[in-house]
Structure 1
Amino acid sequence: MPAFPHSTSSTAIVVAVPPALSLPVIEAEFPRRLHPYWPRLQEKTRSWLLEKRLMPADKVEEHADGLCYTDLMAGYYIGAPDEVLQAIADYSAWFFVWDDRHDRDIVHRRPVAWQRLRFRLHEALDSPRDHLHHPDPLVAGFADSMVRLYSFLGKKWNARFARHFHAVIEAYDREFRNRTSGIVPTVEAYLELRRLTFAHWIWTDLLEPSAQTELPDAVRKHPGYRRAALLSQEFAAWYNDLCSLPKEIAGDEVHNLGISLIHHEGLTLEEAVKEVRRRVEECISDFLVAEKEALCFADSLADDTVRGRELSAAMKAIVANMRNWFSTVYWFHHESGRYMVDSWDDRSTPPYVNNEAAGEK
């Protein structure tokens, strides 16, 4: 099938999914959708990366489009106003660059640089306007993203988002310590930490400005909603682990569900791949059940009030986007240059990263 039916390219690209990573149920039952703003989104995020100096100009030119960061977001937050999707896409691109800096700080043993960045991000999260002109582009770019994301909904949503992202920063610090110490977390410890390093609740929070509605706690904490949200994110995290395993073994990683299974459960590599795949497939089937429960709950919200009807419509849009996460994540992993390890000159060093000692200056 075409990798991107809506691509701006005149040539349809057919992506060959390796059998070990192929999920026929996704290809058959989770149709791929794309926000109509995507071509402009791609162009503007590329410009934003340059403007904020988050990637060197040559790497933006050579790699930005092929990394497909905007494709991922444009396939998820369907229905979002253009300015909301643009802010999310820029933030997502920043997140990937941050993840790469974190990885390089680990690889090059730069604990001082990492701790400095960690504390600056905590500060920028709480007072982004004070950090818009910070000399570290990663801090300034993050502050720019936060000012924009905080402008869409109310103070309560902003405080929740900040609380969730403070936890993500601390999870990245735990991963830093694990990796520099060679500690492979147990399966249960890894799964708990992965929900934070993958930022499960951040991407879920962003479904609300996309639907232009801040959900009340009673809706967000409903079991059907929570379970559907969690399963969509678990699928993404574990499928990412499945696809990233060669890259992370090459890079002496310790944070991957497959690696934890090998190290602590005594599985062979082949057995670990099968077990991660089993969990991924279970996420899909469990989501289909949770999705029905969440949609039934959405129907029940549509009472005789305007507010009830608005909440019902917003929740249905959000649950539909949870479903979109499955297909957009799936195809992202087979189209993005981020996972094409076999094409890299050095399997442990991604060609799109700045491998210099950024952050030590």
Structure 2
Amino acid sequence: MAIAVPPALSLPVIEAAFPRQLHPYWPRLQEQTRTWLLEKRLMSADKVAEYADGLCYTDLMAGFYLGAAEEVLQAIADFSAWFFVWDDRHDRDVVHHRPGAWRRLRGLLHTVLESPRHHLHHEDALVAGFADSVLRLYAFLPATWNARFARHFHEVIDAYDQEFHNRTRGIVPGVEEYLALRRLTFAHWIWTDLLEPSAGRELPDTVRKHPAYRRAALLSQEFAAWYNDLCSLPKELAGDEVHNLGISLITHEGLTLEQAIAELRRRIEECISEFLIAEEEVLWFAEELTDGTVRGKELGTAVQSCVTNMRNWFSSVYWFHHESGRYMVDNWEDRATPPYVDNEAAGEK
């Protein structure tokens, strides 16, 4: 299916050098996540029926974690759908000035990470859905991976709290401050952590902290975050947002909108070219790990799987932004209010 990508958002290098793939489980994945959203009351039945498939949340994950066992991919896709719903709740708490609701939710999410089983039946569907997701993700790898995932997600929650503070006070962070915060609000290290259950094993610190591996992982996520900023700039300007690299460039660097878009594109394109270099280095590293031992072969194969999926992230993110109803602002009745969210005072109950 040919998608018309607007010239301002077109990246020919992605279309040419990053072929798109989808996990063969994808059609079932879509169906199961739709059912999960309903069962967990994360979206109303009418919203699920009208918008769930068009939002393409499962497409995004099915294009990223190739090679994952079906059970693993399903857990990741459901978690990803939850993450988007949480992001929308956070946004509505900002828009409707609900600091008390946000503070309660923030505290509960921190608690769930440490004891998910105790919150499976929480009255707030967002809390219960998170508990279900976390418990399932914790089942695949050892406790050391679980602790790392929890540590990384505690940081994500705190970053969302900082964003809440900035948005409710109209504070546009400076460029460097924004870039550091964006790595957390976009959950760079969460999506990177999830490469490991997809590959079927936890990677030792010596591998994860290897400069080439860490750089390739960071670049794949930076591309996604910055391309998201480029695509969502109209939506976020319409909604009086303060968290977008383009908005930080306009506010703190004195750039015009056109110049900010050009600078975003420059950074994004540089990200792609640097990833291609880092990718080669990781593949060499994977070969070095394959030292003739069984453990070496397994580790080298896992690293190859992870870096291949880092590459897949580029095309998956790119096409997601042109297929998902999440970014089709011009089709919304109110450009500041997504039609797929329940806009009542969720969280105040």
Whether these two folds match at TM > 0.5 is: yes
> Over residues 149-172 of structure 1, what are the superposed CA-to-partner deviations in whole Å (9 max), with x where a residue is unaligned?
000000000000000000000000
Equivalent residue number for residue 291 of structure 1: 279
Pick the aligned partner of 1:155 from 143, 152, 161.
143
Matches within 5 A, 1:1-361: 2=1, 14-361=2-349
Partner residue of 1:5?
none
Question: Structure 1, residues 238-257: CA drift from partner, whole Å, max 9, x if none?
Answer: 00000000000000000000
2:64 aligned partner, one-letter code: Y
The answer for unaligned runs of 5 or more in structure 1 is 3-13
Displacement of 1:65 in angstroms is 0.1
Query: Which letter maps to 2:226?
Result: W
- SS of 1:80 mapped into structure 2: coil
1:15 deviates by: 1.2
Deviations 1:260-314 (A, max 9, x none): 0000000000000000010000000000000000110000000121000000001
Letter of the aligned partner of 2:215 in structure 1? R
d(CA) in 2 for partners of 1:346, 1:219: 47
Query: Where do 5+ consecutive residues of structure 2 fail to align?
Result: none
User: How far apart are the structure 2 equivalents of 1:299 and 1:213?
Assistant: 17
Q: Quick one: distance in 2 between partners of 1:92 and 1:309?
A: 31
Corresponding pairs, count: 349
Structure 1 segments (4+ residues) deviating >3 Å: none
- Identical-residue share of aligned pairs (%): 79
Relative to the length of structure 2, the TM-score reads: 1.00
- State the distance in 2 between where 1:341 and 1:216 align: 43
Counterpart CA distance in 1 for 2:105 and 2:45 is 23
2:77 maps to a residue whose letter is A
Matched position secondary structure for 1:62: helix
C-alpha distance in structure 2 between counterparts of 1:252 and 1:15, whole Å: 29
SS of the residue corresponding to residue 319 of structure 2 reads helix
* Post-superposition offset of 1:180: 0.1
Q: Deviation of residue 323 (structure 1)?
A: 0.1
SS in 2 for 1:185: coil
2:222 match: secondary structure: helix
TM-score with structure 1 setting the length = 0.96
CA RMSD of aligned residues (A): 0.3
Cα distance in 2 between the residues matched to 1:132 and 1:87: 15
Distance 1:291 1:126 in 2: 35
Q: Distance in 1 between matches of 2:103 and 2:295?
A: 45
Counterpart Cα distance in 2 of 1:95 and 1:146? 11
Amino acid at match of 2:287: D
Alpha-carbon separation, structure 2, partners of 1:250 and 1:353: 17
